[in-house]
């Protein structure tokens, strides 16, 4: 695609503020690309006066790539298949899949006395659209641990009788210790206060919270 077209698309995306419907997926990228992305986002924040997340930037880059790729394929007279209603999705590698794990924050006392001993976690928020996908739960333990050290298979999730709108998660057996703890790293502690959805594969391979 012409350079001026790409420039125009980038400018349009920089000014875009409307969020479209999204589906959560996870992807792995080489560390060098992540470093380049972070540097661009820092420069962009200086230009626009407001920060932009990695997810937003990756979505913008994907939109530009798809625009260019679709135009090229059309020029080569290659038909792009369209997904029909009820059509099964194409097979995706395991690193590109819908979430199956949720991470909640907790203190040290809750970790030992509730998560580990009672094998449950209660009074949590879960979107109804996310309930069917949750198979595992991990717990980010606050200071002084500041890491995710264990996860567990979910047995059932039931509405709380005490607090309407909240849920109680019952674990299926003892929590499992990760081979390596997922440390907070340079992520702000504020990012751990909300439920974090990811895949079990990503949880078991991550070193830092920001990689989930």
Measured CA to CA, the distance from residue 137 to residue 51 in angstroms comes to 30
pLDDT at residue 60, as a whole number = 77
**pLDDT attached to residue 4:** 59
Within a 10 A sphere around the Cβ of 23, how many other Cβ atoms?
6
| SS percent in the chain: helix, strand, coil, step 5 | 35, 20, 40
Q: Whole-angstrom Cα distance, residue 211 to residue 148? A: 12
Enumerate helices (H) and strands (E) in the chain, giving the number of each: 5, 7
Q: Are the beta carbons of 137 and 100 closer than 8 angstroms?
A: no
Q: State the Cα–Cα distance between residues 22 and 102, nearest whole angstrom.
A: 18
| 3-state secondary structure labels for all residues of 117-178 | CCCEEEEECCCCCCHHHCCEEEEEECCCCCEEEEEEEEEEEEECCCCCCCEEEEECCCCEEE
* Length reported for the chain: 212
Q: What is the pLDDT along the chain (212 residues), one digit of tens a residue?
A: 445 555 555 555 555 544 445 555 667 778 788 888 888 888 877 776 667 677 777 777 887 888 788 888 888 888 888 654 434 344 434 444 479 999 999 999 999 999 999 999 999 999 888 999 999 999 999 999 999 999 999 999 999 999 988 999 999 999 999 999 999 988 889 889 989 999 999 999 999 999 99
Rg (CA), the chain: 20
Q: Residue 26: what pLDDT?
A: 66
Going from N- to C-terminal start, the domains of the chain cover 3-75, 101-211
Fold designation for 101-211 = ph1033 like fold (3.10.590)
pLDDT of residue 15: 53
In whole angstroms, what is the distance from residue 194 CA to residue 188 CA?
A: 12
pTM over 0.85? The answer is no
pLDDT for 83 equals 55
The predicted pLDDT at position 141 comes to: 97
| pLDDT number for residue 91 | 40
3 state DSSP class of 15: coil
CA distance 44 to 184: 25
């Amino acid at each position: 695609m012409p350079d001026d077209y790409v420039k125009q698309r980038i400018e349009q995306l920089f000014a875009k503020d409307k969020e479209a419907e999204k589906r959560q997926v996870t992807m792995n990228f080489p560390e060098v690309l992540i470093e380049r992305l972070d540097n661009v986002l820092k420069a962009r924040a200086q230009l626009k006066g407001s920060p932009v997340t990695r997810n937003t930037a990756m979505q913008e880059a994907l939109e530009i790539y798809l625009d260019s790729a679709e135009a090229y394929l059309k020029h080569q007279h290659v038909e792009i298949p369209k997904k029909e209603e009820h059509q099964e999705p194409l097979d995706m590698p395991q690193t590109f899949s819908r979430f199956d794990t949720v991470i909640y924050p907790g203190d040290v006392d809750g970790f030992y006395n509730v998560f580990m001993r009672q094998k449950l976690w209660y009074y949590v928020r879960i979107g109804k659209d996310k309930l069917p996908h949750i198979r595992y739960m991990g717990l980010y333990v606050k200071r002084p641990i500041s890491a995710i050290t264990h996860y567990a298979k979910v047995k059932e999730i039931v509405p709380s009788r005490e607090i309407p709108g909240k849920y109680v998660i019952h674990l299926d057996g003892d929590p499992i210790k990760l081979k390596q703890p997922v440390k907070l790293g340079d992520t702000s502690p504020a990012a751990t206060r909300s439920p974090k959805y990811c895949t079990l594969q990503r949880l078991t391979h991550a070193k830092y919270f920001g990689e989930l």
